[in-house]
Chain A
Amino acid sequence: AQTVTQSQPEMSVQEAETVTLSCTYDTSESDYYLFWYKQPPSRQMILVIRQEAYKQQNATENRFSVNFQKAAKSFSLKISDSQLGDAAMYFCAYRSAGYQLIWGAGTKLIIKP
Chain B
Amino acid sequence: DSGVTQTPKHLITATGQRVTLRCSPRSGDLSVYWYQQSLDQGLQFLIQYYNGEERAKGNILERFSAQQFPDLHSELNLSSLELGDSALYFCASSSRATSGIPTDTQYFGPGTRLTVL
Contact = CB atoms under 8 A, between A and B. Distances in A.
A99 B105 contact: no
Chain A binding surface, main DSSP class:
strand
Contact of B104 (A52, A98, A106): A52
Interface in A1-49: 33, 35, 37, 42-47
Interface string B6-37: 00000000000000000000000001010100
A99 B104 CA distance: 7
A35 B106 CA distance: 10
A101 B105 contact: no
Nearest to B108: A45
Interface residues on B, range: 20 to 34
Contacts of A45: 90, 92, 108, 111
Contacts of B33: 99-101
Contact of A44 (B31, B55, B58, B110): B110
Interface string A76-113: 00000000000000010001001111110110000000
Contacts, number: 58
B64 interface: no
Interface residues of A, number: 21
A46 to B, nearest CB: 8
Nearest to A106: B42
Contact of A101 (B31, B55, B88, B106): B106
Interface of A: 33, 35, 37, 42-47, 50, 52, 91, 95, 98-103, 105-106
